[in-house]
Chain A
């Protein structure tokens, strides 16, 4: 089955700096990779996703890159703000209806003012 690793487990950056979180996956058949942001006690919220036919996707300050050959993908947040502080989870899924996601262990991001 799929296994997703995520690094680092914790990350502290100064406000305005960039943050990068990296994930690797094991199943080469996985082809959908979302990133979720979870604030304390709340549900995970999708912030960006990428499919395997794309190498990079950007949405304002957030970008995701995918290297299918190496089986890793990364989340990039630029110009970080205190409200970016949360736990971020990467996930991998076979892009078929009903297939569950396999989540990484999460990265706790702290943006220091």
Chain B
């Protein structure tokens, strides 16, 4: 199946710093990627839909100025958590899907904010 990579796999940072997470589709082009957040023992919650060449679409309750999304190419979307705080600690997963096909997930990034 299609491959989606994510980097880094884990990151620890101090409160107030910004963290950038990269999501790449390795063997296909994705005009749309999705960013999810998953807290322990909870489901995947969609944060935003990343659209290549245009602004991301954010879900209700997700601060667009805090979670900056850039989808500059057909194979790369980035999520930047700005001024991270301990409550932002979570498992962040991106995904992309082929047209009329299943959704492929990245391996996830575990963010810990001290």
Report A's interface with B, CB cutoff 8 A. 34, 41-46, 49, 89, 93, 95-98, 100-106, 108
Contact = CB atoms under 8 A, between A and B. Distances in A.
Interface size class of B (residues with CB under 8 A): 20 to 34
B110 A43 contact: no
Interface of B: 1, 31-32, 34, 41-44, 46, 49, 51, 91, 93, 97, 99-100, 102-103, 105-108, 110
A67 B103 CA distance: 22
Nearest to B4: A43
Given A43-B107, A97-B32, A98-B32, A103 B102 contact: no
A97 to B, nearest CB: 4
A43 B106 CA distance: 6
Contacts of A45: 105
